[in-house]
Amino acid sequence: MSAPEPGEGPLLPGFYAGRAVLITGGTGFLGKVLIERLLYTCPEVGEVHLLLRDKRGQPPRVRLNQLKQSQAFDNVRAQCPGQLDKLRVVCGDVAQPRLGLDDAALQQLREVSVVFHSAATVKFWESLETALHQNVTSVVALMDLCDQLPKLEALVHVSTAYSNAERRHIEERVYEAPAQLAGLRAMLDALPPSLLDDLTARYIAPKPNTYVFSKAVAEATIAQRPRKHYATAIVRPSIVVSSHRHPFPGWIENLAGPSGVVVGCGKGLVHAFNLDLAARADLIPVDITIDTMLAVAWEIATDKSGEVRVYNSCSQQNPITWRAFRDRVVRNVRAHPFDHLMYYPFTFGIKNRYVYKTLELVLQTVPLHVADYLARLCGVKLQLSLVTVSERLQAMNRVLAFFATREWYFSTRNVHALRRRLTRADRDIYNLDVCSVDWDEHVRDFVKGTRKFLLKEKDDNIPRARRFVERLRRVHQFVLLVLSVLVYRFLTLLLPRFLFRSAPALAGLAAPH
């Protein structure tokens, strides 16, 4: 495909015009931004079908109505509300055979031209059976469905940049499968669940968890699948964080990954992280990944290549270290404080696991357990047990530690080539360039977005929160002063006594024989 002329108009809105789209995982973090960008930037897009299941007693149509009320669609409601009428429910479930689709649903999807598959279980240590069922078997069922869609042109599968995390240099290609799906199914049928759980960590090694393992198996399964009449691509985002610009700067809706770090630090709960401060943090704003996915579908559908293309969506060309990220988060949660802080925001980043565990015990675990005990003793009812909070913080650190104490090099040639193929008008609409991100600005928006969109805290409360943070700062300084005095007294009183008692023994060792 040749590069476009500079004066050409946007190609992507024209490509999606009149085309029907199917999205799995539409109610998730990536899914909502994908729907918003598709409806907002492609005014003539056809029907957008969302695969939804019953969840917590709510049928798919009720969930669709709730989805339409999301803050992610505020711009769509304000400027082009009719676009939301293009959303259609497809009652199904990726965890069920044939995706849980009946004949009526299959008939509804016959006009679909593009499929985006982002549904997955993102629990890193989900049971191996569940992870394979939701992240691999669902892909097979989806491709079976795709084979039956006569107008399908492109299938875009969302994986993870860490699907081959045992490697340090990860290229944009599908690597050999860590295990064959047929063999995995036979093992699952043969082993009792208790034994399987005990063997999982050793079986999936060197993969760090079942999420990464299942994503690697899914990629290989897609690559091994004989292609029919449509093109297939795999998009691998790294650590997805809040939006750069769309739907709003700093928009965030889940507590996974760095957003949990921001909340924990901003609430004064997290004071120690197991990370390598000098290592590169491969963060990628969600809207840059989504714009890449939209462009990928256009490229593979128009290029008609028979191979499975892989696109690593990462911040490799515009790096930020974990130290820089930590420092910016701490600075911004102090400047834009959250409501109801537990303590003054500060945190240490420690690579050594033993030093980290010591700091975690002293600065987090013990204080939270003591605070929980005192609250119960005083009859104070807490919305969430502080012991539970402590356990969740430990679990979050365990999950992030693998990725925050290591560094990878991701090849991004396909993404760069794709961006060059877009017209200037396309690049004005769809941002595939991570170099456009100013990390100072982004982390500030990340913190403010976490406060506004995730925690639902009002900006009117910020002046009061700042006054409270100032009081906590004084308390923190007083605590540091007391600790400094205690350490000084220890050194001036106990240490000389120890040295005095040890002097005869030391002298005996030094005497000539």
Q: b/e map of 173-207 (b: 16 or more CB within 10 Å)? A: bbbebbbebeebeebeeebeeeebeeebeebbeeb
- Please determine, for residue 505, whether its predicted confidence score (pLDDT) is greater than 90: no
Q: Out of 123-137, 182-196, 423-437, 471-485, which region has the weakest mean confidence (pLDDT)? A: 182-196
Give the pLDDT band (50/70/90) at residue 497. low
Give percent of the chain above pLDDT 90.
70
Average pLDDT of the chain is 90
Letter for the amino acid at 428?
D
pLDDT at 495: 63
Three-state DSSP at 272 gives: strand
136 and 218 in contact (C-beta within 8 Å)?
yes
344 and 361 in contact (C-beta within 8 Å)?
no
pLDDT at 383: 77
CATH architecture assignment, domain 12-254+281-318+408-436: 3-Layer(aba) Sandwich (3.40)
pLDDT at 77: 95
pLDDT at 185: 83
pLDDT at 5: 52
Question: What is 406-430 written as a DSSP string?
Answer: ---EE--HHHHHHHHHS-HHHHHHS
Q: Out of 2-16, 221-235, 402-416, which region has the weakest mean confidence (pLDDT)? A: 2-16
Give percent of the chain above pLDDT 70.
95
Q: Out of 399-413, 424-438, 490-504, which region has the weakest mean confidence (pLDDT)? A: 490-504
What does the pLDDT look like over 185-243, one tens digit per residue?
888 888 888 888 888 888 899 999 999 999 999 999 999 988 778 999 999 999 999 99
- Please determine, for residue 3, whether its predicted confidence score (pLDDT) is greater than 80: no
Give the pLDDT band (50/70/90) at residue 1. very low
What are the residues whose beta carbons fall under 8 Å from the beta carbon of 384, sequence distance 6 or more? none
Query: CA 150 to CA 137: how far, in whole Å?
Result: 22
Backbone φ/ψ region at 304: left (φ over 0), alpha (ψ -120 to 50), beta = left
Radius of gyration (C-alpha) of the chain in whole angstroms: 26
pTM over 0.85: yes
Query: CA 266 to CA 274: how far, in whole Å?
Result: 17
